[in-house]
Structure 1
């Protein structure tokens, strides 16, 4: 059955003095059905984080423009985007004397297939009919503790070191990337990309339910409203993109004008 895409990207500055996140849904200029979704959460003091996240977005746009799906793998596009952004952010340290770095999560949509990658703690969730299928694992200190059984996922939400990252773009060390791909996409699938300013206020079940019960646009509005309310005046920048795949019933062939069906005698 053919699929349609219901998509929306949304942001809120939260209670911060500056919006340092960047996000975009970028369609390929020449290839129908190909698009790149990007969320970057910049860090590094006044303006430094915004510049780092902007570099992630700029590099993603440039890489997508030169992407030839028939000749290149999706993973190469995603990795090249992140590595180039990492190099450029590091170089900017010498020009602006700041300490810029950024997380990144990217999703490449192609007909019949999706591929994603991330660095840091900006997340991608895959749901089907509201049920969690998969999510990225943060490159953070608390996720390391959870993976090793030292704390629970619930304890991680309030751990004092929950914002400590193990890798990022523009950091001193070479960044770490994780990749995944799915070729079993179908109607009812939904992908959510977001910064920690959003996911910190939801468990997987609630997030999936809101996305399943609403259009992409309405889900973005409700999730931001809930996050703002729960932040109680101390909320971080919020960025999220929702991509929902919707079945499109095939149209029945129409009889030609003037056609009279012949009945059996």
Structure 2
């Protein structure tokens, strides 16, 4: 039995943009009791349609997932890759039908009843893991840069500048290149582990230490309100969409003693 309970939630703010193109959700699996999927997407071009498709596909495939006995990290990673590639295909087909190319980032996290966490990301939306207030991991572009240097034979500087190239940008829906999915995992989850999935409208304004301090001391709802408000202040009227999903593992409440109620005798 796990020595923690899960507190989770999502939050978003439009920032200083004309519309909200980000989406985030937390799902339980219809055929996977005790499993949880958090997913987030940032619509880069074409509005919110691509982000909406991420959530739709993620829920559909997660509801179909049957874990069996103790699925491996590889199998859970395969589910996240399947969500990415199925969504990527649908977004490209929609672009052909509408004549408008749609792009979005992707970040997702699976937490299992066996104390496993597996995450994936595409693009510049991030996944963080904290142990209490200390940042133990955050996703980045290093894996994709190495991939470009190895598969496309690009020099290091050209690979680092991939966001400036329509050919090389790593997003879902790019008709010129398949998305590169970076995968990570952690075993033996325990109370004090905290995961944050967020778009660049949030992480751009905070250090790892600041994020960890707020998440460790507050509930997901309280933390999201504080972070959104502070991001708005620091953006100084130039902030983008700000979206996050927070998954916090906390110690369960202590059981109350099993008192017996007895009738008191009358005092004489």
Taking a change above 3 Å as real, the CA distance of residues 149 and 176 of structure 1, as seen in their structure-2 partners, is closer
**CA deviation vs aligned residue, 1:53-74 (integer Å, no higher than 9, x gap):** 1111111011001001117621
State whether residues 14 and 235 of structure 1, in contact with CA within 8 Å, keep that contact through their aligned partners in structure 2.
Answer: yes
For this pair of structures, how many residues does the alignment match? 241
Shift of 1:30: 3.8
2:124 is equivalent to residue 121 of structure 1: yes
Taking a change above 3 Å as real, the CA distance of residues 16 and 255 of structure 1, as seen in their structure-2 partners, is closer
In the other structure, the counterpart of 2:9 is: 8
In the other structure, the counterpart of 2:265 is: none
Gaps of 5+ in 2: 149-154, 263-268
In the other structure, the counterpart of 1:51 is: 49
In the other structure, the counterpart of 1:83 is: 85
Shift of 1:97: 1.2
Shift of 1:29: 2.2
Q: Distance in 1 between matches of 2:141 and 2:6?
A: 27
Q: Distance in 1 between matches of 2:81 and 2:23?
A: 18
Q: Distance in 1 between matches of 2:27 and 2:6?
A: 14
Q: Distance in 2 between matches of 1:54 and 1:186?
A: 32
In the other structure, the counterpart of 1:65 is: 63
State whether residues 123 and 138 of structure 1, in contact with CA within 8 Å, keep that contact through their aligned partners in structure 2.
Answer: no
Shift of 1:252: 7.0
Taking a change above 3 Å as real, the CA distance of residues 70 and 136 of structure 1, as seen in their structure-2 partners, is same
Moved more, 69-78 or 103-112: 69-78
Measured on the aligned residues, the alpha-carbon RMSD in Å equals 2.4
In the other structure, the counterpart of 1:234 is: 238
Q: Distance in 2 between matches of 1:83 and 1:31?
A: 22
Shift of 1:253: 7.2
TM, length-normalised to structure 2: 0.83
Choose the corresponding residue for 2:223, options 219, 237, 260.
Answer: 219
Q: Distance in 1 between matches of 2:24 and 2:238?
A: 22
Taking a change above 3 Å as real, the CA distance of residues 42 and 255 of structure 1, as seen in their structure-2 partners, is same
Q: Distance in 2 between matches of 1:202 and 1:229?
A: 12
Q: Distance in 2 between matches of 1:23 and 1:190?
A: 17
State whether residues 13 and 237 of structure 1, in contact with CA within 8 Å, keep that contact through their aligned partners in structure 2.
Answer: yes
